[in-house]
Structure 1
Amino acid sequence: MLFSFQPHDEWSQTQKWAFRFVALYSWLYILMMFGGSRLLKPLTIWLGRDILGIEGRYEFFATGSGDTTMAYAGLFAQLILVISGTILWSVLDRKRRSYNAAFYWLTVILRIFLVFFMFTYGFAKIYKSQFAGPSLLRLLQPIGDMSPMGLAWTYMAQSEGFNMFTGFMEVLGGLLLIPKRTQALGGIVVFGVMLQIFMMNMFYDIPVKLFSAHLMLFGLLIFAADWKRFSHVFIKNKPTEAVEYYKPTKDPVYHTVMMWFKVAGVAILFALMGYQGYNAEHSFGDKRPKPQYYGIWEAEEFIKNGDTIAPLITRSDRWRYWVIDRKGYAAVKMMNDSARRFNFIVDSTGFGLTMRSRSDTLTEPNFTITQTDSVQLILKGVLDQDSLQIRLRARDLSQIRLINRGFHWINETPYNR
């Protein structure tokens, strides 16, 4: 066992070298997470492009991916710096007997880091804003056309209950990390939760592999510091002893203040993240307001420039479905299963609408809409210099099995469709 919550006056050379590496790596990784990676940009590009010969996009850009070329090259740069720093630290500080205080503060930083992200991701699932959906356009997509990530996202998005369960487990791991007495239990809970997420990211090609791996390993590091007692109780069937945790000070006022600081911090985090999660779920999550004409509308008749276009599956210029899911946006599914996305605005009368490509800056209405009854409407207008008249019928969303099957205690036969 390399590290322990139980302080020791004398550490072995292996323990000291390992601690220096782990401490430098952890501190540098957290620093890079919160903006420090930009300071290493020149080194990252040089190592990645010139030393490793990796081709890719060497710039910082927001796409939602944490597994970019810059991320992997940055990780390599981080390892070079950490190895160099470990050697230098070991030479300059070779006479130090132990790192009890430094290890204490390392675990404090890692716990704060893990608590923040366990709460962040946990509340995003409890309030179902991370996996909102599945969208109406996704429901029309053949499963064979989905990417592995799209399939995994749909799997998570389909069930509110499973989202709440995984979210509660993440929050539980974060809560257990806060008191010293339960930090090891919190570490193993975080490790277990993040192991499942890491495997999902790996095998469904979700680009959060690096980050989830670090959260998983940080949780394991905290748990491993209490491994000896755990193994005695659960594996070797031996008695164990209580840990005398390292204390930075014996002042009782300090410990009282820290206890109330933790209580207040948890309360504030719960309030802020609960408020943010509630707003997110009601703004763009499952409980968002549905826009006017919400639904999947099937094009029963499609007239283009005066010619009626037959619904042939080879046509890329004939609409099959008109999908209104989120305010301000519309999508069109063509007969050949390709899709186009548009900005979509309904005017104050409800009969004029603007539907233009995302790059089009014009805002005046280019369509009129006539609703003949609750399930039928007619669109007339001009799109891409083509005159269009389209008769649409609303698809009954209650007939979509994936979102309406529900839960059943009793199933006489497996309902696997």
Structure 2
Amino acid sequence: MDTQSINFPNQRNRNVVLRFLHLYIISYVYLFIFTSQFSPLEGIYKNGVLWLCKNVFHQKQVEYIKMTGSGDTTLDYWVVIVNIGLAAVASLIILLADKKQRTFKDLHWFTVVVARYYVAMIMLSYGFAKLHNGQFPANSIGRLEEKVGDMSPMGIVWTMMGASTGYTFVSGLLETIGGLLLLFRRTKTFGALFSMTVMINVALLNFFYDVPVKIFSSHIVLFCVFIVIGDAIALYRFFVLHQPSQLRFQKRTSDKKWKRITLTGLKWLVVAFFILSSSSALFYTPPAVPMEGAYTVDKFIINNQEIPSNDSFGWKKLLISYPGRTNIILNNDSTKVFQSVLDTGKKTLMLRKIDQQDIYAYLHYNIQKDSIIFTGIKGSDSIKIKTIRKKKEDYPLNKRGFHWINEYPFNK
């Protein structure tokens, strides 16, 4: 009798803790989905968190910086902290209000479905973006001219991916496969394990190459863990204990035919929406760049006087790598960026300083056998520039190609 009186409260406490943790995880899943970068509520929620930061937590330096390309801003970390707190509060309220002490199995099942579809959407969108010139396009002339030591760690990743269309395509294909597997109950566990494996590599790149998507990629990995956790015991028995095991398969059907048809129709509408909305990246074609290349200056003549290469006033290179933009590298290695208008019919190149209307230089170009000559005016001065053009295919990074046999490693 004494043993029962001692063990019963302990068992009850353990049940309460487990139910709280269960509700906490479920609450956090919904909070993240409704406030992440793909949610229409993101802006409203971030403004609310910003208000809390400034007026409750007295974090005056926190700002809502939009369109930076970073998902790891100070405010993003505060969003995670607030989500952690709100998930705990929501779980506690539900736990106190639940007099029947339910296990919330149906809520868990539905949350797994929501998490599956959310991760599938992310995997498909990123996967399709890698299949064709989306997330990692071919390296620009500016990137090819950049010194490795001057690149950011993130720039190294983008250069590596942009240098290999095949590797980028396979990476996108794996993400797409993971997303498709998650859309169906029979393959959800395999899809979660598959996607988790792929996304762990992505998260590691984000962490160790300082790519500012650490929060988001980590959460996608954790979502995959959440999806697969219900089958953890079965997987452990099969892979570790080598015992016969079976994954759970919860087939939710209705006794009414119209409900079954409606649910099936809704599912396929969602699947079609995910695929169609993500596949737009497959049809993206980068704009053509007329006269694209790096133009190394052989001679720089101003007012009929040649400027020596050690004079910082002279030009070292012209880089035409994007439509409407030209970079000029001076002899002192400083770079000036200009708005440009290139007319291939008239063979002219007009340069303006950014956000200015005055013409910086107006040049005619003449293509010769081994060089391209630019002549024209720069301000009140006449200039003539003899250059050697280097195209994308002239760089060793691009022209090496694939080789089955290598007697020696090509590692310049």
TM-score category, normalised to shorter length: 0.7 to 0.9
Do the aligned partners of 2:253 and 2:260 also contact (CA within 8 Å) in 1? no
Which of the two has higher C-alpha Rg?
2
Relative to 1, partners in 2 of residues 1:307 and 1:222: Cα closer, same or farther, differing over 3 Å? same
Query: How far apart, in 1, do the equivalents of 2:17 and 2:381 lie?
Result: 74
Q: CA deviation at 1:80?
A: 2.1
Which residue does the alignment assign to 2:290? 292
Aligned counterpart in structure 2 of residue 331 of structure 1, from 327, 332, 337: 327
Q: How many residues align?
A: 397
Give the secondary-structure state (helix, strand or coil) at the position aligned to 2:244.
coil
Q: CA deviation at 1:188?
A: 1.0
Which residue does the alignment assign to 1:8? none
| Counterparts of residues 54-93 of structure 1 (less than 5 Å) | 56-93=61-98
Query: How far apart, in 1, do the equivalents of 2:378 and 2:234 lie?
Result: 70
Query: How far apart, in 1, do the equivalents of 2:202 and 2:312 lie?
Result: 38
Relative to 1, partners in 2 of residues 1:233 and 1:38: Cα closer, same or farther, differing over 3 Å? same
Give the secondary-structure state (helix, strand or coil) at the position aligned to 1:391.
strand
Q: CA deviation at 1:182?
A: 0.9
String of CA shifts for 1:338-393, please: whole Å, max 9, x gaps.
Answer: 3222222124743333221222245x794131314154333344557765432222
State the superposition RMSD in angstroms.
2.7
Aligned counterpart in structure 2 of residue 140 of structure 1, from 129, 140, 145: 145
Query: How far apart, in 2, do the equivalents of 1:367 and 1:31 lie?
Result: 52
Q: Aligned partner of 1:124: which letter?
A: A
The percentage of aligned residue pairs carrying the same residue is: 27
Do the aligned partners of 2:307 and 2:314 also contact (CA within 8 Å) in 1? yes
Which residue does the alignment assign to 1:18? 21
Q: Aligned partner of 1:206: which letter?
A: V
Q: Aligned partner of 2:386: which letter?
A: R
Can you give the 5+ residue segments of structure 1 that lack an aligned partner in the other structure? 1-10
Q: CA deviation at 1:125?
A: 0.6
Which residue does the alignment assign to 1:7? none
Aligned counterpart in structure 2 of residue 234 of structure 1, from 214, 224, 239: 239
Do the aligned partners of 1:352 and 1:365 also contact (CA within 8 Å) in 2? no
1:212 pairs with 2:217: yes
Relative to 1, partners in 2 of residues 1:296 and 1:15: Cα closer, same or farther, differing over 3 Å? same
Do the aligned partners of 1:43 and 1:77 also contact (CA within 8 Å) in 2? no
1:29 pairs with 2:42: no
Relative to 1, partners in 2 of residues 1:295 and 1:348: Cα closer, same or farther, differing over 3 Å? closer
Query: How far apart, in 1, do the equivalents of 2:277 and 2:90 lie?
Result: 38
My pick for the range that moved more, 149-158 or 348-357, is 348-357
My pick for the range that moved more, 67-76 or 382-391, is 382-391
Query: How far apart, in 1, do the equivalents of 2:253 and 2:377 lie?
Result: 72
My pick for the range that moved more, 252-261 or 326-335, is 252-261
Q: Aligned partner of 1:13: which letter?
A: V
Relative to 1, partners in 2 of residues 1:407 and 1:54: Cα closer, same or farther, differing over 3 Å? farther
Query: How far apart, in 2, do the equivalents of 1:179 and 1:86 lie?
Result: 29
String of CA shifts for 1:105-139, please: whole Å, max 9, x gaps.
Answer: 21121112111111110001111310112111111
Which residue does the alignment assign to 1:170? 175
Aligned counterpart in structure 1 of residue 230 of structure 2, from 217, 225, 233: 225
Q: CA deviation at 1:155?
A: 0.9
Q: TM-score, normalised by structure 1?
A: 0.86
Query: How far apart, in 1, do the equivalents of 2:329 and 2:187 lie?
Result: 52
Give the secondary-structure state (helix, strand or coil) at the position aligned to 1:325.
strand
Can you give the 5+ residue segments of structure 2 that lack an aligned partner in the other structure? 1-13
Do the aligned partners of 1:356 and 1:383 also contact (CA within 8 Å) in 2? no
Q: Aligned partner of 1:300: which letter?
A: D
Relative to 1, partners in 2 of residues 1:371 and 1:197: Cα closer, same or farther, differing over 3 Å? same
Query: How far apart, in 2, do the equivalents of 1:172 and 1:42 lie?
Result: 36
Q: Aligned partner of 1:339: which letter?
A: T
Q: CA deviation at 1:51?
A: 6.4
Query: How far apart, in 2, do the equivalents of 1:384 and 1:124 lie?
Result: 44
Do the aligned partners of 2:132 and 2:283 also contact (CA within 8 Å) in 1? no
1:412 pairs with 2:412: no
